[in-house]
Amino acid sequence: MRILLVGAGGVGDAIAKIAARRSFYDTIVVSDYDLGRAERTVEWLEARGQARDRFIAAQVDASDPDSVASLALEHAITHVMNAVEPKFVPTVFAGALAAGADYIDMAMSLSEPHPTDPYTETGVKLGDDQFAQAPDWETAGRLALVGMGVEPGLSDVFARYAADHLFESIDELGVRDGANLVVRDDLGNEIFAPSFSIWTTIEECLNPPVIWERDRGWYTTEPFSDPEVFDFPDGIGPVECVNVEHEEVLLMPRWIDADKATFKYGLGNEFIGILKTLHQLGLDKTDPLTVRSANGPVEVAPRDVVAAGLPDPASIGPRMTGKTCAGLYVTGTAPDGSPRAVYLYHVADNEWTMAEYESQCVVWQTALNPVIALELLASGTWTGRGVLGPEAFDAQPFLDLMAKPLADGGYGQQWGLDERG
Amino acid sequence: MRILLVGAGGVGDAIAKIAARRSFYDTIVVSDYDLGRAERTVEWLEARGQARDRFIAAQVDASDPDSVASLALEHAITHVMNAVEPKFVPTVFAGALAAGADYIDMAMSLSEPHPTDPYTETGVKLGDDQFAQAPDWETAGRLALVGMGVEPGLSDVFARYAADHLFESIDELGVRDGANLVVRDDLGNEIFAPSFSIWTTIEECLNPPVIWERDRGWYTTEPFSDPEVFDFPDGIGPVECVNVEHEEVLLMPRWIDADKATFKYGLGNEFIGILKTLHQLGLDKTDPLTVRSANGPVEVAPRDVVAAGLPDPASIGPRMTGKTCAGLYVTGTAPDGSPRAVYLYHVADNEWTMAEYESQCVVWQTALNPVIALELLASGTWTGRGVLGPEAFDAQPFLDLMAKPLADGGYGQQWGLDERG
């Protein structure tokens, strides 16, 4: 296996660091628009003796399929691992196919709201552009494994596991994500510093949330709908969660039999209030405004100004404490006919991810899962062709490899199963 | 009297329109950095036959004392009426003195927070720079009447009236400002559109609020301190008010005997939440940030971006409904020795100010009071020298002229007195 990693930002960097401790591949080309960023990742591994001549830094333009394809061909790449912003999904996806490589990403092609009824009907859905190209991938005999981060990704693996091993029939597949992360300034005061790109967070939180029901199919609601306090494990505790547009709702119903699929994000009241205010003042907008400046009027997008004023999420790890939990709450009927409710989850503790990987926990947790998936593909445990989600594959070997101790060749990452009434 | 009006924005324009119906002066030179804006005001009056050869449009640079002084000398100005942003107070103030003219403003020179204890101690206070120059004005035999809008302004007139006519001793002079204004878009949906410059509103609301007490002198608190629901008259009803930095607290204790002076602004919970969020995200900042744009990185101040994204307050009048109330809540002991609480107030209804003056009510209410003051100075009813606040003058003739019917030569603007237990 020869991997082209496209993007050496927070998640790409963590993918390289996690993969560096494994031996299932021959080469990883770490590429970025900013070559220096790719080089820093490789140098970090070399300085710790983990690169072992398997890592190469390269420059790439993720917005250009030809740039991706030519870099892949140059290095005889078998798998393109996409770790850039979702807006570049179409070009990296096309570049991989053009190079005859398999493809993995952690977010799917973007949605567009319904032109007249954005808060009841779907328009272009997340991943629609990719699924429309499934015949091309099938014909080429290549695999595009889409949505293979933590959410989407591990959450979809949990869905498949629940359907195969825990339930006779499923009422709802409900992804529930929550954290108790706190970031402090040098004086120890708590500051507002989102642990994930505010640009992407605004995008997913202010888009109309999508829900799937067996009788209705996919439909949308107003942002922040159906607030629910969900009790997260491992000391995180209760967090207010609301509907947010997310890939799992588009993926799970394609492969798993259930009455309903939802995604609720534990944004908390404070963050929901902030996002609502940004929207109310038009500060979420991506169209440029004309603004006065010392150098005369300039054109800037308000959302870019919001992002520029906040700390870089990749930089806040050392000032952050707490844990993040990704998981799936499944309700339905157990094989014995009794009602069952189960929360399947994985928790990442920032203190541990920083100490082990110098990577903050939200970014590290996202990066873990595609590395496990690549290892299952390398060993032939997972095989497939066409455009497939994580739930199209057997969940058991994934969860086994994830939980198996390091000493036994696993990843040593426990996942949890809470029986809840 | 020959008046130089500096600034033809919303308030300056309304001053010209209100003054145009009076005859106490010979000439008003309407000036602005943007000559076209000054010309529009004069043309509006001419089109209605109200100019009567008394109005002249001119260009001025309010940031340059020489520009103000030379324009004043050119037109043999006796009174400079400052109607620009408070940051230009020092230069307009200096220009007026240099030209040997009297001076009126509606906001005082800006404050600077205490360098180490901004939320307990005052630093440079509102108006400090102006009061420091009082000897120059006294020596020159000229008057600077500072803080003569509605708040500060009419509120200070009410303070003097209460001290002279309603109370034996005063516990608290509490300015309380509230409104029930609503702005709608073309579809009739309520939108967020502040009725006053968001730039100035952020400035006054996020600066540490100042309070005066007899035993402590001036001190400051955290922003939005001491929330209090105040019941406003004329159908406005209860509004949540919080401490805000304002000139009255600096002016009243210099001339009126009281135990305490406060200013609380009826921002309402929603607006307070918005301002807190802007502050939390650093979007209130006036230092430029480097932000990506289609034309490469640009330097913009986040507060300018917030302002650029909102409707111009001067333009929202036609889409606004409701009333605004400015007033002073006074508690203490009545001349007969009994406890007394009185709210003295003036209400402006947007529907009426738009119909009568094509001026939105918040701006119009601010403009009304300096015109009345100029008329009292023109008639010699008010006289003074040095740097004086409105409470240094007899309140009775002001309130009489304000309330007297139009037919009898007054302004026909009723003010109210609520006895409150």
Let me know the angle formed at the C-alpha of B252 by B95 and B194, rounded to the nearest 5 degrees. Answer: 70
Task: Please state the rounded mean pLDDT for residues A82-91.
Answer: 94
Q: How far apart are CA B232 and CA B178, in angstroms?
A: 7
ipTM: 0.72
**A27-32 and A2-6 as β-strands: parallel, antiparallel, unpaired?**
parallel
Kindly determine whether residue B283 and residue A283, on different chains, have CB atoms separated by under 8 Å. yes
Both tokens assigned to B139: 């020596």
pLDDT of residue B316: 87
- Determine phi and psi for B161, rounding to 5 degrees: -60, -45
**A285 contact residues in B (CB cutoff 8 A):** 309
How crowded is the C-beta side of B71, counted as CA atoms within 13 Å? 28
Taking 3-state DSSP, the helix, strand and coil percentages for chain A, each rounded to the nearest 5, stand at: 35, 25, 35
Q: What's the pLDDT band for A203 if we cut at 50, 70, 90?
A: confident
Q: How far apart are CA A41 and CA A31, in angstroms?
A: 10
Burial A366-376, CB ≥16 within 10 A → b, else e: bbbbbbbbbbb
Q: Compute the residue count for chain B.
A: 421
Q: Say if residues A83 and A11 touch (Cβ distance below 8 Å).
A: yes
Q: How far apart are CA A162 and CA A169, in angstroms?
A: 10
Q: Around Cβ B282, how many Cβ atoms within 10 Å?
A: 18
How crowded is the C-beta side of A303, counted as CA atoms within 13 Å? 14
Greatest CA separation for chain B? 72
Kindly tell me the burial class for residue B47, based on how many C-beta atoms sit within 10 Å of its own C-beta (0-12, 13-18, 19 or more): exposed
Of A274, A280, A294, the CB nearest to B299: A294
CA torsion through residues B203, B206, B207, B211, sign = positive
The domain limits of chain B are 2-148+366-411, 154-357
pLDDT of residue B317: 87
**A304 contact residues in B (CB cutoff 8 A):** 291-293
Identify the closest residue of chain A to B284 by CA–CA distance: A309
Place of tokens 């009304």: B368
Substitution target from A183, A189, A291, A306 for chain B, most B beta carbons within 10 A: A291
Distance from the Cα of B242 to chain A's closest Cα (Å) equals 20
Q: What's the pLDDT band for A196 if we cut at 50, 70, 90?
A: confident
Residue A254 amino acid letter: R
What pLDDT digit, counting tens, does each position of A368-384 carry? Answer: 999 999 999 999 999 99
Name the packing angle between helices A395-403 and A361-378 (round to 10°): 120
Let me know the angle formed at the C-alpha of B12 by B11 and B16, rounded to the nearest 5 degrees. Answer: 115
Task: Please state the rounded mean pLDDT for residues A135-163.
Answer: 98
Residue A72 amino acid letter: A
What pLDDT digit, counting tens, does each position of B59-110 carry? Answer: 999 999 999 999 999 999 999 999 998 889 999 999 999 999 999 999 999 9
The answer, yes or no, to whether residue A170 has pLDDT greater than 80, is: yes
pLDDT of residue B267: 87
Q: How far apart are CA B178 and CA B134, in angstroms?
A: 33
Q: How far apart are CA A134 and CA A152, in angstroms?
A: 19
B295–A contact, CB cutoff 8 A: yes
Q: Do domains A2-148+366-411 and A154-357 have the same CATH topology?
A: no
pLDDT of residue B200: 81
**A283 contact residues in B (CB cutoff 8 A):** 283, 305-306, 309
What pLDDT digit, counting tens, does each position of A340-364 carry? Answer: 999 999 999 999 999 999 999 999 9
Q: How far apart are CA A64 and CA A165, in angstroms?
A: 43
What contacts A415, CB < 8 A, 6 or more positions away? A154, A158, A344, A345, A346, A399, A402, A403
The answer, yes or no, to whether residue A199 has pLDDT greater than 90, is: no
Substitution target from A191, A267, A300 for chain B, most B beta carbons within 10 A: A300
The answer, yes or no, to whether residue A337 has pLDDT greater than 80, is: yes
Q: Compute the residue count for chain A.
A: 421
Greatest CA separation for chain A? 72
The answer, yes or no, to whether residue A332 has pLDDT greater than 80, is: yes
Kindly tell me the burial class for residue A274, based on how many C-beta atoms sit within 10 Å of its own C-beta (0-12, 13-18, 19 or more): buried
Q: How far apart are CA A186 and CA A319, in angstroms?
A: 8
Identify the closest residue of chain A to B310 by CA–CA distance: A281
Identify the closest residue of chain B to A311 by CA–CA distance: B281
Distances (CA, A) of B153 to B38, B130, B344, B401: 24, 16, 13, 15
Q: Say if residues B20 and B50 touch (Cβ distance below 8 Å).
A: yes
Of A292, A308, A310, the CB nearest to B304: A292
Mean pLDDT for chain B? 95
Q: What's the pLDDT band for A400 if we cut at 50, 70, 90?
A: very high
Distance from the Cα of B309 to chain A's closest Cα (Å) equals 6
Q: Say if residues B415 and B345 touch (Cβ distance below 8 Å).
A: yes
Both tokens assigned to A6: 């496209």
Chosen CATH of A154-357 out of 3.40.30.10, 3.60.70.12, 3.30.360.10, 3.40.50.300: 3.30.360.10
What pLDDT digit, counting tens, does each position of A32-73 carry? Answer: 999 999 999 999 999 999 999 999 999 999 999 999 999 999
Q: Say if residues A208 and A360 touch (Cβ distance below 8 Å).
A: no
Q: How far apart are CA A177 and CA A232, in angstroms?
A: 8
What contacts A33, CB < 8 A, 6 or more positions away? A59, A60, A61, A62
Distance from the Cα of A313 to chain B's closest Cα (Å) equals 14
Helix/strand/coil for B8:
coil
What pLDDT digit, counting tens, does each position of B274-328 carry? Answer: 999 999 999 999 999 999 998 899 999 999 999 999 988 878 889 999 999 999 9
A308–B contact, CB cutoff 8 A: yes
Distance from the Cα of A257 to chain B's closest Cα (Å) equals 42
Kindly determine whether residue A277 and residue B277, on different chains, have CB atoms separated by under 8 Å. yes
Helix/strand/coil for A47:
helix
Q: Say if residues A103 and A97 touch (Cβ distance below 8 Å).
A: yes
**B299 contact residues in A (CB cutoff 8 A):** 293-295, 298
pLDDT of residue A113: 94
The candidate with the shortest Cα–Cα distance to B327, out of B215, B224, B234, is: B234
B300–A contact, CB cutoff 8 A: yes
Residue ranges of alpha helices (H) inside A189-301 are: 198-206, 247-255, 268-280
pLDDT tens, residue order, chain B (421 aa):
999 999 999 999 999 999 999 999 999 999 999 999 999 999 999 999 999 999 999 999 999 999 999 999 999 999 999 999 888 999 999 999 999 999 999 999 999 999 999 999 999 999 999 999 999 999 999 999 999 999 999 999 999 999 999 999 999 999 999 999 999 988 888 888 888 778 888 888 889 999 999 999 999 999 999 999 999 999 999 999 999 999 999 999 999 999 999 999 998 888 888 999 999 999 999 999 999 998 899 999 999 999 999 988 878 889 999 999 999 999 999 999 999 999 999 999 999 999 999 999 999 999 999 999 999 999 999 999 999 999 999 999 999 999 999 999 999 999 999 999 7
pLDDT of residue B194: 85
Q: Say if residues A421 and A281 touch (Cβ distance below 8 Å).
A: no
The answer, yes or no, to whether residue A192 has pLDDT greater than 90, is: no
pLDDT of residue A82: 98
**B305 contact residues in A (CB cutoff 8 A):** 283, 289, 291, 300, 302, 305
**A309 contact residues in B (CB cutoff 8 A):** 281-283, 285, 289, 302
Q: CA torsion A54→A60→A66→A69, rounded to 10°?
A: 10
**B293 contact residues in A (CB cutoff 8 A):** 288, 298-301, 304
**A190-191 and A182-184 as β-strands: parallel, antiparallel, unpaired?**
antiparallel
**A308 contact residues in B (CB cutoff 8 A):** 289-292
Mean pLDDT for chain A? 95
pLDDT of residue A194: 85
Helix/strand/coil for A23:
coil
Distance from the Cα of A318 to chain B's closest Cα (Å) equals 20
Residue A192 amino acid letter: F
**A288 contact residues in B (CB cutoff 8 A):** 293-294
**B267 contact residues in A (CB cutoff 8 A):** none
Residue ranges of alpha helices (H) inside B145-246 are: 154-161, 198-206
Distance from the Cα of A31 to chain B's closest Cα (Å) equals 22
Q: How far apart are CA B38 and CA A77, in angstroms?
A: 68
Q: How far apart are CA A178 and CA A417, in angstroms?
A: 16
Of A192, A277, A298, the CB nearest to B300: A298
Chosen CATH of A2-148+366-411 out of 3.40.50.720, 3.30.360.10, 3.40.120.10, 3.30.1490.190: 3.40.50.720
CA torsion through residues B253, B257, B261, B263, sign = negative
Q: In what order do the strands lie in the sheet with A182-184?
A: A190-191, A182-184, A320-321
Place of tokens 């971006």: B305
Residue ranges of alpha helices (H) inside B222-264 are: 247-255
Distance from the Cα of A134 to chain B's closest Cα (Å) equals 34
Instruction: List B residues 146-185 in contact with A (Cβ-Cβ < 8 A).
Output: none
Q: Say if residues A8 and A28 touch (Cβ distance below 8 Å).
A: no
